[in-house]
Amino acid sequence: MSNEQIPKTARAVVFDECNGAIRVDKDHKVAQPSELKAGEALVKVEFTGVCHTDLHAWKGDWPIPPKCPLVGGHEGAGRIVAIGEGSDTQFKVGSKVGIKWLADSCLNCEACLGGQEATCSNAKLSGYTVDGSFQQYAVSYLKHLTPIPDGVDMEVAAPILCAGVTVWKAIKQSNTRPGDFVVISGAGGGLGHLAVQYATAMGLRVVGIDTGDDKRKLLASYGADTFIDFKEHSGKGKLIDEVKRVCGGEGPHAAVITSAGAAAYNEALEYLRPHGTLVAVGLPPNATINADVFFTVFKALRIVGSYVGNRQDAIEALDFAVRGKVKPQLEILDLDDINSVYERMEKGGVAGRIVLKC
């Protein structure tokens, strides 16, 4: 099913091997409607966010290797232009949809049936194990596309489909209630600045940890109650003492770690109050959490890994944007800018989220 002429080729960002040359292919083959299988859709991607996971996919520095050649990207927002014959779906040609990290799962295993589709042993991952959203036309699986509601712009929806969903799920996993203290480590980054907004919307008292006056001002504008510049508290135990002080002396009820620094994890275990929850989100390379067993037991601490969200989490995350509660800080560039974007990301020179126009 298709109502428009589909080009034979279009632009796509491709690399043939990890750490190899990244090229913008102007003549990348576009799947035609007749080639789509039941359950598949062709999405005309309008905007795609850029995530640090995309950088890891290209570098190949995670324990699970990506497929190569690969079209990266997993924060795509666009419209369906064709649907495979025989598909059973609520979507139609013209539907606004989002492409997420989880491209497909079986929906029949214990993980899927329990709402944990991302841990399905047969999961397919956009821009990692299957081609993703760094292209003008992407083949996607209908059952894992997310409807984009009216009231949210495509460029805003794109980063919420990964970063927003991820931190919203993490806040839900934090075992907190309105009025509780939550620390967001890496609060001024692409994940962190969204986590601050979701936590604020949930009535939590937010302590953001990052560095620099620009991030201090940004987080204040998003409703953070307190900002701690970690460079101003770099002596032994100083950061831990400051976090406890601003959280009533006992420390926060939860810490959501979006930082790419390994130290943030071990510091959190020291400043959490009894019965506190550490939610692990950021992925520092080759990092370990060094939890003191005695104090983990004695303080009844919880350590929770939070890995993206499910299909319902994505719908909820977008609803916050529709209601004006969450708004990503965006820098909009073009698909052709991907190499310079990766260079900036490697240097830590990106505030908020970068979104590419396709």
Report phi then psi at 336, rounded to 5: -65, -15
What pLDDT is recorded for position 5?
A: 87
What pLDDT is recorded for position 346?
A: 86
Where do the domains of the chain lie?
Answer: 9-162+309-357, 174-305
Which CATH homologous superfamily contains domain 9-162+309-357? Medium-chain alcohol dehydrogenases, catalytic domain (3.90.180.10)
In this structure, is the dihedral angle defined by the CA atoms of residues 215, 220, 221 and 222, taken in order, positive or negative?
positive
Tokens for 79, please give them: 């419209």
DSSP state letter for 330 = E
Per-residue pLDDT tens over the stretch 41-73: 999 999 999 999 999 999 998 889 999 999 999
What pLDDT is recorded for position 285?
A: 79
Q: Is 116 helix (H, G, I), strand (E, B) or coil?
A: coil
Is residue 68 within 8 Å of 22, Cβ to Cβ? Answer: no
Per-residue pLDDT tens over the stretch 225-236: 999 999 999 888
What pLDDT is recorded for position 2?
A: 59
How far apart (Å, rounded) are the C-alpha atoms in residues 101 and 338?
A: 18
Sites in the chain below the pLDDT cut of 50: none
How far apart (Å, rounded) are the C-alpha atoms in residues 234 and 257?
A: 18
DSSP state letter for 337 = G
Out of 3.40.50.300, 3.40.228.10, 3.40.50.720, 3.40.190.10, which CATH number does the structure's domain 174-305 have? 3.40.50.720
Tokens for 129, please give them: 């194990």
